[in-house]
Amino acid sequence: MSSRRILLLGESKTGKTHLAGQIYGRIRAGQSAFGFRSQPASLKLLEEVLDSLTNGKSAGHTPSGQYGEIEFDLTDPGGDKLELVWPDYAGEQISDMVARRSIMPDWAARIESADRFMLLVRSSDAVARKSALFSEPSRERDLGSRRRTDRMPVQMRMVELLQMLERARTVAALDLPELDVLLTCADEMETINDPKEALARHMPMLASFIGTRWTGPRVRYWAISALGRQLRDDLANEEFAETGPVEQGWIIGQDGQKLKDLTLPFAITSSIP
């Protein structure tokens, strides 16, 4: 029996918590090829997300400063072990690492042990500032590194993050693992037929960098909407509640097909020499 470990990486407001809740709900309901080997330790958080969604409401953003790890210990149809790790469901540690250009020891260990990286990028963040390729000038002299980094376009921050991951793997004498790029909250965008093309159109700098480091089957591109629509945390969407969260959400792969199985990116790929 083989084992593989996927490290999910995304900043705040990229939809990680909703995605984790929906994946948990899919697997629990038997609507996935994967099964749990053991229950997640972060069960309370996941149940709270599903409770909100069941009532037709958004689970809201994870509170600022709340760190924690979600880990799914799964088995695939072939009986192999799969670990999915969301190290920071608030997303702030990612931003802090980029701002400081420094990787903490516990993150270094996660990066070294990963068999695959999964980068979550909210595509609408780039659309909102599609003309900006460089940091906005600041007139404030007392901005900390975190606030200066927040002024950088998302694609610049993600390029910096990927460079840091690459350096960490090099120091550990490890090659870069395979990569999945997830354009999250894709329901906010125009129709997407090709996620790779959508990334190149809205985040050309990030797409170009990825293309120089990962080629061919070493990288896959997805557009994903964990909920299929936008929800509010203060007003229930009755249609969503009536249908149920496990029937909501979709994912688009490179073939352009829109499918309901949000766990597709976790499927094993052909080995890379």
Q: Residue 110 maps to which CATH number?
A: 3.40.50.300
Q: Quick check: is 137 in a domain?
A: yes
Neighbours of 237 (CB within 10 A): 19
Q: Which amino acid is at 197?
A: E
Paired residues of 178 in beta bridges: 116
Is pLDDT larger for residue 133 or for residue 211? 211
- Determine, yes or no, domain membership for 45: yes
Residue 273 belongs to a domain: no
In a domain, 272, yes or no: no
What 3-state class would DSSP assign to 116?
strand
**pLDDT averaged over every residue in the chain:** 85
pLDDT in tens, 149-176: 556 889 999 999 999 999 999 999 999 9
pLDDT in tens, 83-101: 999 887 666 888 889 999 9
For residue 85, the SS3 value is strand
Instruction: With H, G, I as helix, E, B as strand and everything else as coil, classify residue 179.
Output: strand
| Residues 6+ positions from 182 with CB-CB distance below 8 Å | 118, 119, 120, 121, 222, 223, 224, 265
DSSP string, 184-203: ESGGGSS--S-HHHHHHHH-
Task: Supply the DSSP symbol for 216.
Answer: G
**Tokens 């299929």, located at residue:** 228
Asked if the model's pLDDT at residue 204 lies above 50, the reply is yes
pTM above 0.85, yes or no: yes
Least confident of 62-66, 127-131, 192-196, 230-234: 127-131
Statement: residue 44 has pLDDT above 70: yes
Q: Report how many domains make up the chain.
A: 1
Q: Quick one: which of 46, 37, 35, 38 has its CA closest to 68? A: 46
Q: Which of 27-36, 68-77, 141-150, 173-182 has the highest mean pLDDT?
A: 173-182
pLDDT at 245: 94
Query: In this structure, are residues 236 and 215 in contact, taking their beta carbons and an 8 Å threshold?
Result: no
Backbone angles phi, psi at 182, to 5 degrees: -110, 115
Residue at 17 is within a domain: yes
Question: 242: exposed, middle or buried (C-beta count within 10 Å: 0-12, 13-18, 19+)?
Answer: exposed
Sheet arrangement for strand 219-225: 35-38, 70-75, 81-86, 3-10, 116-122, 178-184, 219-225, 250-252, 258-259
Confidence of residue 131 (pLDDT cuts 50, 70, 90): very low
How high is the pLDDT of residue 67?
57
The winner for highest mean pLDDT among 5-14, 91-100, 149-158, 203-212 is 203-212
Of the candidate ranges 22-31, 120-129, 152-161, the one whose mean pLDDT is the lowest? 120-129
* Residue 4: per-residue pLDDT: 92
Mean pLDDT of 13-21: 90
Is residue 59, in this structure, part of any structural domain at all?
Answer: yes
The answer to whether residue 89 is domain-embedded is: yes
- Of the chain, the percentage scoring pLDDT greater than 70 comes to 83
Q: Is 250 within the bounds of a domain? A: yes
pLDDT of residue 160: 96
Average pLDDT, integer, range 171-197: 94
pLDDT at position 126, please? 57
| Residue 269 in this model has a pLDDT that exceeds 80 | no
Above 80 in pLDDT, residue 41? Answer: yes
Q: Provide the residue range defining the domain that includes 127.
A: 3-266
Q: For the chain, how far is it from start to end, CA to CA, in angstroms?
A: 20
d(CA 199, CA 223): 9
Give me the pLDDT at residue 90, please. Answer: 65
Q: Which residue has the higher pLDDT, 134 or 121?
A: 121
Q: Return d(Cα 50, Cα 56) in angstroms, integer.
A: 10
Least confident of 44-53, 177-186, 219-228: 44-53
* 173 contacts: CB under 8 Å, gap ≥ 6: none
Return d(Cα 206, Cα 210) in angstroms, integer.
6
CA nearest 5: which of 107, 116, 111, 91?
Answer: 116
- For 252, the token pair is 């688009």
d(CA 63, CA 80): 35
Share above pLDDT 90 across residues of the chain, in percent, rounded to a whole number: 62
**Residues linked to residue 118 through DSSP beta bridges, in sequence order:** 8, 180
